[in-house]
Structure 1
Amino acid sequence: MNSADLGRRVGVPSTALFTDQYELTMVQAALKAGTADRRSVFEAFTRRLPEGRRYGVVAGIGRVLDAVENFHFDDEMLAFLRDQNVVDGPTLDYLADYRFSGDIWGYPEGEVYFPGSPVLRVEGSFAECVLLETVILSILNHDSAIAAAASRMSAAAGGRGLIEMGARRTHELSAVASARAAYIGGFDTTSDLAAGFRYNIPTVGTSAHAFTLLHDSERDAFRAQVDSLGRDTTLLVDTYDVTAAVRTAVEVAGPELGAVRIDSGDLLLVAHRVRQQLDELGATGTKIVVTSDLDEYAIASLAAAPVDAYGVGTQLVTGSGHPTCSMVYKLVARASSADPADELRPVAKKSMGAKSSKGGRKWAARRLDEDGVADAEVIGTGPVPAELAGRQLLVELVRGGEVVAREPLDAARERHIAARAGLPMSAMQLSRGEPVLPTEYV
């Protein structure tokens, strides 16, 4: 069973009230004006990457598909809207029958993006598209921010293991979404069982300091854990004295001890000392896991340390300083009626400053240089140049209201590895800089 199947098995409640009130009041006014059914095109994109980031990571597409599929107003919700006088009777009647019946195209999950990239394109009537704005942005802004942080940490880890363990540092539902996004971005496992259950992400976990403190001695705690979980378990060795704990751990579990975890102190220095001690005790195969407020910079600083895996919590689930990627959802084209033959006209916000946008229903492609490395994100509204026809980025996700592009989570994870590998090497730099690819409009 793949991750998409698991997501459907668990079930997603209605997402219709995960929205802002003005989405509904716009529908009310448009219904009264006779413009609600005008054929429209909305796009989700970001005007800029978070400061210093070289690329963004598309995450949350699978959750967006679930949200669109489950966006409907039940009787209780309609009663709430009626009792609170949010919208009028005709609008309530419209909402009672609401099901998205349009089309959605977007960057596939795990792909990278840049300023202006049309990450998601939603087409249908104005009313049915505008209602989805808030929930789509809520998912994409959160999940893409976490995935981008995870990708940077994955690049810094250089192939060493990464454990997502941020459930206790964020909202309980955000924790599940964060684990999913982190897995796409390159993390290997999660401590969150809800994420494992919903998305089939491998889960890990053994014990905390409280387990050691529960017992009369550290040896008793280690013995209890090994007796229960086996010699291949991971023992936490920094409750008291690390050197004494490592010695006791090997005495209890033998050289077959799976791993030791270090959660405090100068991790670089302690890791070297622990590795030397383990080897001297004959536990040459015992791995070292480090935790303790790690981010991509701390992980990179431990590149020379004999560390086998990193556990990351707070910095990961908060986007490592950038908890949102500032995506927006804008109307970019609309017709004068619901008639499919009616011409779509580009529309765009033209206000002063950085909040202006570019109108028109867009395509996007990634141009490669002679070595096969990406050198530009090309975006246009007219015909796609022949040389870019095979490099287009948007894929069909929803057709006529029906989801057509579900995939296992591992597919998104593998896609991200490939997409990141296709960028210039400077994309992996952790130092602040401009986006690694320019955005060109044609």
Structure 2
Amino acid sequence: MSIADPGSVAPLAADSAARLTSPPRPPYWPSASTALLTDRYELTMLQAALADGTAERHCLFEVFTRRLPPGRRYGVLAGTGRVLEALASFRFSTAELDWLRSQDVVDERTLEFLADYRFTGSITGYPEGEVFFPQSPVMTVEGTFAEAVLLETLVLSILNYDSAVASAASRMTSAAVERPCLEMGARRAHEHAAVAAARAAVVGGFAGTSNLEAGRRYGLTTIGTAAHAFTLLHDDEESAFASQVASLGPGTTLLVDTYDVRKGVQNAVRAAGGRLGAVRLDSGDLGVLAVEVRRQLDSLGAHDTKITVTSDLDEYAIASLAAAPVDSYGVGTSLVTGSGAPTCGMVYKLVARADSSGVLQPVAKASTAKTSTGGRKCAARRYDADGRAVEEVVVTGADLAVQEWEPDDGDLRRLQVPLVVDGAVDSRWVGSYGVQNAAHRHREARAELPRGARRLSAGDPAIPTVVHTLP
């Protein structure tokens, strides 16, 4: 698989995620192989398919979710760029092949195939940052069975986690309205998941992260000044604050609740004067404390000093602070665990495969509660006269008819875009530029939803999904 030259790719549509005009920055590609980030049965299916001659059958795999997590009205697609980055490193080197051989996972014929593995197929999908609903075909992988089946676990591992975090982030930033939310969950997650979570949080609307690796890798804004340990290191709070201001400048954020909040605010203003950037509250009744601290800061002449709050926040806690004089929120545990929904329940299903004459035929699972709809899909979103989304339209039917389908009226917007064409990745979706595009796409997509979509109470999906079968 190759990476398309950004300069050779046609501009994105005007209503797509990428209205930004700056050129792509060099993307981050994982240095280690991602090929074994998979389940054993992907390789054993490949072995059997190679043996019976079906491995080269042309196939379509579709990623979708059957339902949203309880209480959610929409989901946010995130991780698409990471999938494309991981594809570039999906290679079986001598080390991987030797291990597979030593464990007798597959036979020599399969190992020979894996040694030369490159994904040469195509991938289409919703732009990263787009909202989705039950049955939305958020990604379609097209290629031979042998090439496409191996990607199932990796694709689902990335999309399920990243989309769960981005969906939670969207609810939190929606509850925060115009106040910035900052990701601070690295210490509550696996070290690699923490980087993915920071990226997904920004896709969902967060303004920055405390995670330096995420900042380096994806060009994210990084934030953070000091914890309680720095105050406790010093003989008293006054000397701790004086030291921090001397080193980081008066615009720093001082943590004022190590001992007594009122005294902490006094010491903070004394150390930095009216130029103090912010104070942080990390415990107690944050709503009550914010009111008291704002009043105290103003009385001390620190009118421009901001108040940021942390301490086990989630979307409900953020919403409860709407009337408090809070300027920003730092969120950790709830964010990186999906705020009660740690996965989006996405599946990767074979929906079409070529028959003996090479024509794609729909296939589908029919078991109770886990049904799927076979065939290629096109997706579009319908809007009312005010530009509000009212319906998710999924079109299926005969393969050629679906490929040629175009919306028959002006109130439909097509949702899928090419991500990989004949093995070449469109680099606008990866690296730091891809994150910018995804965050931009999400802001626009969320603004198009009905107003009820922002409610935190349990309810049905914000818009219905309607499946149309073409004749």
Deviation at 1:209, TM superposition (A): 0.4
Q: How does 1:12-411 map to 2 (within 5 A)?
A: 12-336=31-355, 342-352=358-368, 354-381=369-396, 382=402, 383-387=405-409, 391-407=413-429, 408=433, 409-411=435-437
State how far apart, in whole Å, the 2-side matches of 1:2 and 1:396 are. 19
Deviation at 1:386, TM superposition (A): 1.5
What CA deviation, in whole Å up to 9, does each residue of 1:281-311 have, x standing for no partner? 0000000000000000000000000000000
Q: Is the 8 A contact 1:4 1:199 kept in 2?
A: no
State how far apart, in whole Å, the 2-side matches of 1:39 and 1:88 are. 23
User: Which has the higher mean CA deviation after the structures are superposed, 400-409 or 39-48?
Assistant: 400-409
State how far apart, in whole Å, the 2-side matches of 1:321 and 1:4 are. 35
Q: Which residue identity lines up with residue 364 of structure 1 in the other structure? A: A
Q: Unmatched 5+ residue regions in structure 2?
A: 1-21, 397-401
Tell me: CA distance 1:77–1:389, structure 2 relative to 1, closer, same or farther (3 Å).
farther
Q: Is the 8 A contact 1:3 1:200 kept in 2?
A: no
Deviation at 1:336, TM superposition (A): 2.6
User: Which has the higher mean CA deviation after the structures are superposed, 17-26 or 370-379?
Assistant: 370-379
What CA deviation, in whole Å up to 9, does each residue of 1:122-166 have, x standing for no partner? 000001000000000000000000000000000000110111000
SS in 1 for 2:409: helix
User: Which has the higher mean CA deviation after the structures are superposed, 65-74 or 190-199?
Assistant: 65-74
State how far apart, in whole Å, the 2-side matches of 1:104 and 1:390 are. 22
State how far apart, in whole Å, the 2-side matches of 1:20 and 1:123 are. 20
Q: Is the 8 A contact 1:366 1:388 kept in 2?
A: no
1:437 aligned partner: 463
Q: Which residue identity lines up with residue 5 of structure 1 in the other structure? A: P
What CA deviation, in whole Å up to 9, does each residue of 1:22-62 have, x standing for no partner? 00000000000100000000000000000110000010010
State how far apart, in whole Å, the 2-side matches of 1:286 and 1:6 are. 37
State how far apart, in whole Å, the 2-side matches of 1:87 and 1:111 are. 39
SS in 1 for 2:224: coil
CA RMSD of aligned residues (A): 1.3
State how far apart, in whole Å, the 2-side matches of 1:24 and 1:355 are. 24
SS in 2 for 1:334: strand
What CA deviation, in whole Å up to 9, does each residue of 1:375-422 have, x standing for no partner? 000001243442269611010000111102524111110110000000
Q: Which residue identity lines up with residue 426 of structure 1 in the other structure? A: G
State how far apart, in whole Å, the 2-side matches of 1:418 and 1:132 are. 30
Deviation at 1:6, TM superposition (A): 4.2
How many residues matched?
A: 436
Q: Is the 8 A contact 1:15 1:72 kept in 2?
A: yes
Q: Is the 8 A contact 2:382 2:411 kept in 1?
A: no
State how far apart, in whole Å, the 1-side matches of 2:462 and 2:57 are. 38
State how far apart, in whole Å, the 1-side matches of 2:427 and 2:460 are. 32
Tell me: CA distance 1:358–1:274, structure 2 relative to 1, closer, same or farther (3 Å).
same
State how far apart, in whole Å, the 1-side matches of 2:440 and 2:322 are. 24
Q: Which residue identity lines up with residue 118 of structure 1 in the other structure? A: P
What CA deviation, in whole Å up to 9, does each residue of 1:328-358 have, x standing for no partner? 0000000035x7xx21000000112x10100
Identity rate of aligned residues, in percent? 62
Q: Which residue identity lines up with residue 386 of structure 1 in the other structure? A: D
- 1:427 aligns to 2:453 (yes or no): yes
SS in 2 for 1:163: strand
2:26 aligned partner: 5
